A and B are shown apart, each in its own frame.
Chain A
Amino acid sequence: MVAQATVLDDLHAIIGNKHAFRPDEAGRFVVDGISPQAVVEPGSYEEVAAVLRYASEAGLAVIPLGGGSRRHIGNLPARYDLALSLSRLEKIIEHEPADLTVTCQAGISIAELQQRLKAHGQRVPFNAGSGHQASVGGVLAANANGPSRAAYGALRDYTIGMRVVTADGRITRAGGKVVKNVAGYDLCKLYTGSLGTLGVIVEATFKVMPVSRRERSIALRLRSPSDACGLAAELYRRGLAFSHVELSSAGGGNDVGWFLEILLAGSQGAVDRSEKELLGLAPRFKAELAASNEANETRSAGESNDDQLLCRLSVLASQLAALIEEIKRLESPLMVAEPITGVLRASWPAVDAAAVLESARAVAAKHEAVCVVEHCSVELKQRIDVFGDPPPAFALMRRVKQQFDPKGILSPGRFVGRL
């Protein structure tokens, strides 16, 4: 192990005194309670490469960080020496509006990118819920999808190119900047959702789309998740013009309310017609219009607990309502679901989290759902694999990790099966 003082000196020599430092008190670079020895903020891809070459030689474990909004995702780091912050890589490299593509650096925040695209009437269909500070690279590494997936596809569908710095410090390219491209292996797919364990994403190219000309938000209150899922399925089957649909619960015990928030989006005619049809459908599913902020207010109540247990369950859409009913019995105070894609996020207070998780996993197994812990206390993380049992192809995944990061310096321990 290289001494801490030496590490900082070496990093200073690589990227200058100003951009390599000890972590501050604010805890911005803490991952699962662990502070790194040093933080580096490279200003170029070459500097990222130089830092990784150094880390590779010195055997230092590196965690790449963007906005830090999803630091809680993943297993406990096996080691964590260096925080590699991408915050200085925040440029838009190329945006030709008429090509409907944009290339930007990984450290740019989603909010900033959307703001800049908006000036041209465009956007990337990231999810509104990504948070202000979330960065492009972080969202890609965490494969953070949300309620617009049913309408516009997942990140993997609109990410067409990447630049990635490998563990041994090579600046490499995958995909390209054209919307259709089958040259070589599609490594963008591999890096998306790899949680910084295969390489450091420094740049990405996306397909963009025009901002909807008309948007209308409708919140419905329903009596059961099954009615809500039924209504969402019908909305989708009819091809109504929506950009996202989200189901959430509020309250507890017998007093649970179910809310379906629908953002209609598209041309004037399509939105008008969709609204009319949706409201026409509502009685069939015993849905009533909710007060405008009713759903949101209940939601924000559940979001501040640092040690809360948050699980993401992914199931066949046809099973979602039944899954929700059973998870509800575990007294989750907050559930948010994507009814068309079959994704449910349920959270609980930290008390008895281990027991709750065990029950939630049993429910998931019964419905053949995938259950991933997105957030929990460090103490619980020490005892579990947040991804659950390794998938059938785990041995192959381990070989991929070994090939891409033979020295195990990239976010070691954090991925599926503690890769």
Chain B
Amino acid sequence: MKRSDLILDLQAAIGRSWVLHAPEDLLVYEYDGTIDRGLPEAVVLPEDAKGVATAVRIARKHHVPVTARGAGTGLSGGAIPCEGGVVIVTTRMNRIVELDSENRIAIVEPGVINLDISRAAAPHGLYYAPDPSSQKACSIGGNVAENAGGPHCLRYGTTTNHVLGLEIVTADGQVLWLGGKTADTPGYDLTGVIVGSEGTLAIVTKVIVRLLHKPEATITLLGIFDAVTQASRAVSAIIGKGMVPAALEMMDKNTMDAVEPFVHAGYPPDAGAVLLIEVEGLKEDAQEQADAVASICRELEAREIRIGLSQEDRDRLWAGRKGALGALGRLAPSYYILDGVIPRTLLPTVLDGVYEACERFGFRVANVFHAGDGNLHPNVMFDERVPGATQKVLDLGEEIMRLCVDAGGSITGEHGVGYEKRNYMSWIFSEDDLEVMSRLKAAFGASERFNPGKVFPTSKGCGEVSSRMRAAIAKVGADAYV
């Protein structure tokens, strides 16, 4: 069947204004927060689940795959239509359908921006806990697809721990509810497997999220260290004492060099690393935790500990942390964002290994990451115009992923496998493990209909992505987050 027929069918069903097909319109939808590219044949913007289901059925009739897209801030190419087909954009589905403050739940459409949930819940003293750095821009549908994390997931858990139920559209265009508002719902926990399935099993059209009460007290500490090694020892020691702060973030000197002139957050220019730590709870508890954290930092030779910060100070520090990746653009024309996880006791040694490898390869690296979770984000700076640099940086990335896996960790903590890391999957999963995962895909009847080319290892290339560009190399810009 011809592409023009596909477009006509979509227009007839969804409305002419909500189907994009001109080349200049499609270009906007060929990329996300990574630099992978894949041009769709058509883009549709349905306004509800019924529209999504219709678009899915039409794509099926025309034998083209469907890729769902939220705000496009993803960092593993999740929203890129590797094999063309139809991109379903959820931006029009941006209603908060229900906010039940008494039961602390909200039902939201997938296009709702993460932070807008907390804003809507704030008058009730509630908020939505997972806080990816991109929370001002990213949508909840994308968060569900990637099981997004964020600094405060250390204590409160990632997206999966806050999603109670989902309305989905299946590959055959059926609209179904999974899970529900109550604590227990009978049957297999299909909600739990859709979260983090990277858009390969179903398209989410509504999300039931859990809201939390705002804690009584929050204390922010800034631990300033001369060297990364000391800071990472402090992280291991804090966790080792059984303390789980709300957030425990590390930024190294290279990161602060980029952030400070840009955000004026108050990060010391000459420190080797800082820990941005937040403890929460009853005021008695928060104070006790803050004292204990401060004393561990002191024992581990923190040069200075800032505590008792004003609200403005705290906001600036967090603005610096959450805007760090964008700020890195000041230091190099391109950078490669990595996402790996290690057991927290191994933080000092693995970080040493990361710096050593970067030096050996001849690249500058900025580390800004969720230290308390052991979730590393080395950002390798390079210049893609230099011949051979891209391949070299990819090789370095692979070596760093190896360090994580050898330490007993994982190849992704919150960005997803996507296209970039699918061939690393076999480092942590056996053929049998992957075969069992593929059974789930078969049960959903999804085969290659939804977001083909993602998650599972394959030798096939992604659409128009050339081998030179095959990784998630972010263009410099203030709209990238880690």
- Whether B409 lies near A176 (C-beta < 8 A) is yes
On chain B, the residues within 8 Å of A316 by CB distance are 100, 103, 181-182
| Most-contacted residue by chain B among A156, A176, A188 (CB, 10 A) | A176
Closest to B408 in A: A177
Q: Which B residues, 424 to 473, have Cβ-Cβ distances below 8 Å to chain A? A: 425, 428-430, 432-437, 439-440, 442-445, 455
Neighbour of B216 across the interface among A101, A238, A315, CB < 8 A:
A238
Q: Which A residues, 219 to 272, have Cβ-Cβ distances below 8 Å to chain B? A: 236-241, 266-267, 269-270, 272
Q: Is A399 interfacial (CB 8 A cutoff)?
A: yes
The complex places the Cα of A270 from the Cα of B284 at a distance, in Å, of 5
On chain B, the residues within 8 Å of A178 by CB distance are 341-343, 374, 408-410, 413
On chain A, the residues within 8 Å of B341 by CB distance are 176, 178-181
What's the least CB distance linking A140 to chain B, in Å?
A: 12
Closest to A166 in B: B436
- Whether A343 lies near B442 (C-beta < 8 A) is no
What's the least CB distance linking B316 to chain A, in Å?
A: 26
The complex places the Cα of A3 from the Cα of B417 at a distance, in Å, of 48
The complex places the Cα of A320 from the Cα of B13 at a distance, in Å, of 44
The complex places the Cα of A314 from the Cα of B183 at a distance, in Å, of 6
On chain B, the residues within 8 Å of A153 by CB distance are 157, 161
Q: Is A56 interfacial (CB 8 A cutoff)?
A: no
Closest to A343 in B: B183
On chain A, the residues within 8 Å of B415 by CB distance are 182
What's the least CB distance linking A283 to chain B, in Å?
A: 22
Given A172-B433, A187-B437, A194-B188; A236-B176 close (CB under 8 Å): no
The complex places the Cα of A193 from the Cα of B189 at a distance, in Å, of 8
The complex places the Cα of A237 from the Cα of B244 at a distance, in Å, of 21
What's the least CB distance linking A368 to chain B, in Å?
A: 8
The complex places the Cα of A172 from the Cα of B410 at a distance, in Å, of 16
Q: Is B170 interfacial (CB 8 A cutoff)?
A: yes
What's the least CB distance linking B196 to chain A, in Å?
A: 5
Q: Is A370 interfacial (CB 8 A cutoff)?
A: yes
Given A186-B193, A193-B188, A241-B282; A403-B433 close (CB under 8 Å): no
Closest to A269 in B: B284
Given A241-B285, A369-B182; A173-B433 close (CB under 8 Å): yes
Q: Is A396 interfacial (CB 8 A cutoff)?
A: yes
Q: How extensive is the interface on chain B, given as a class? A: 35 or more
- Whether B182 lies near A393 (C-beta < 8 A) is no
Neighbour of B187 across the interface among A183, A318, A416, CB < 8 A:
A416
- Whether A314 lies near B185 (C-beta < 8 A) is yes
On chain B, the residues within 8 Å of A97 by CB distance are 240
- Whether A149 lies near B183 (C-beta < 8 A) is yes
- Whether B443 lies near A96 (C-beta < 8 A) is no
Given A99-B344, A153-B157, A392-B176; A273-B282 close (CB under 8 Å): yes
The proximity string for B residues 161-194 relative to A, scoring 1 for CB distances below 8 Å and 0 otherwise, is 1000000001000001110111111111111110
Q: Is A209 interfacial (CB 8 A cutoff)?
A: yes
Given A98-B240, A185-B440, A393-B177; A239-B373 close (CB under 8 Å): no
- Whether A181 lies near B413 (C-beta < 8 A) is yes
Q: Is A372 interfacial (CB 8 A cutoff)?
A: yes
On chain B, the residues within 8 Å of A143 by CB distance are 184
Q: Which A residues, 387 to 410, have Cβ-Cβ distances below 8 Å to chain B? A: 387-388, 390-394, 396-397, 399-400, 402-404
- Whether B410 lies near A270 (C-beta < 8 A) is no
- Whether B440 lies near A416 (C-beta < 8 A) is no
The complex places the Cα of A379 from the Cα of B285 at a distance, in Å, of 53
- Whether A184 lies near B425 (C-beta < 8 A) is yes
Closest to A161 in B: B410
What's the least CB distance linking A322 to chain B, in Å?
A: 13
Q: Which A residues, 99 to 133, have Cβ-Cβ distances below 8 Å to chain B? A: 99-101, 121-122
Q: Is A46 interfacial (CB 8 A cutoff)?
A: no
Neighbour of A400 across the interface among B100, B285, B342, B440, CB < 8 A:
B440
Q: Which A residues, 349 to 382, have Cβ-Cβ distances below 8 Å to chain B? A: 368-370, 372
- Whether B443 lies near A396 (C-beta < 8 A) is yes
Q: Which A residues, 128 to 152, have Cβ-Cβ distances below 8 Å to chain B? A: 143, 145, 149
Q: Is B314 interfacial (CB 8 A cutoff)?
A: no
Q: Is A317 interfacial (CB 8 A cutoff)?
A: yes
The complex places the Cα of A314 from the Cα of B285 at a distance, in Å, of 32
Closest to A185 in B: B437
The complex places the Cα of A122 from the Cα of B240 at a distance, in Å, of 11
- Whether B193 lies near A187 (C-beta < 8 A) is yes
Closest to A312 in B: B184
Given A180-B374, A396-B170; A236-B213 close (CB under 8 Å): yes
Q: Is B158 interfacial (CB 8 A cutoff)?
A: yes
Given A172-B436, A179-B373, A341-B183; A184-B417 close (CB under 8 Å): yes
- Whether B177 lies near A184 (C-beta < 8 A) is no
Given A172-B433, A369-B182; A157-B161 close (CB under 8 Å): yes
Q: Is B132 interfacial (CB 8 A cutoff)?
A: no
On chain A, the residues within 8 Å of B425 by CB distance are 183-184
Q: Is B412 interfacial (CB 8 A cutoff)?
A: yes
Q: Is B375 interfacial (CB 8 A cutoff)?
A: yes
Q: Which B residues, 400 to 417, have Cβ-Cβ distances below 8 Å to chain A? A: 408-417
- Whether A237 lies near B409 (C-beta < 8 A) is no
The proximity string for B residues 357-376 relative to A, scoring 1 for CB distances below 8 Å and 0 otherwise, is 00000000000001001110
- Whether B373 lies near A180 (C-beta < 8 A) is yes
- Whether A181 lies near B412 (C-beta < 8 A) is yes
Neighbour of B176 across the interface among A122, A185, A274, A396, CB < 8 A:
A396
- Whether B443 lies near A403 (C-beta < 8 A) is yes
The complex places the Cα of A272 from the Cα of B282 at a distance, in Å, of 11
B27-35, B145-153, B264-272, B302-310 - interface stretch: B145-153
What's the least CB distance linking B146 to chain A, in Å?
A: 7
Closest to B149 in A: A180
On chain B, the residues within 8 Å of A79 by CB distance are none
What's the least CB distance linking A145 to chain B, in Å?
A: 8
The complex places the Cα of A190 from the Cα of B147 at a distance, in Å, of 15
- Whether A183 lies near B185 (C-beta < 8 A) is no
Q: Is B195 interfacial (CB 8 A cutoff)?
A: yes
Q: Which 6 A-B pairs have the closest CB atoms?
A: A189-B192, A210-B242, A98-B240, A269-B284, A314-B184, A403-B439
19 other A-B residue contacts (CB within 8 Å) besides A178-B408, A185-B201, A370-B185: A154-B183, A157-B157, A172-B432, A176-B428, A180-B413, A180-B414, A182-B415, A186-B197, A187-B440, A190-B440, A192-B192, A209-B242, A267-B288, A270-B281, A270-B284, A316-B103, A342-B103, A400-B443, A403-B442
| A positions within 8 Å CB-CB of B | 96-101, 121-122, 143, 145, 149, 153-154, 156-157, 164, 166, 170-174, 176-190, 192-194, 198-199, 209-210, 236-241, 266-267, 269-270, 272-274, 312, 314-318, 338, 341-343, 368-370, 372, 387-388, 390-394, 396-397, 399-400, 402-404, 415-417
Q: Sample 23 A-B pairs with CB under 8 A, ordered by A number.
A: A100-B244, A101-B343, A157-B161, A170-B435, A172-B433, A176-B428, A178-B341, A179-B373, A180-B158, A180-B410, A182-B413, A185-B201, A185-B437, A192-B189, A198-B188, A239-B216, A241-B281, A241-B282, A343-B184, A387-B186, A390-B187, A393-B176, A396-B443
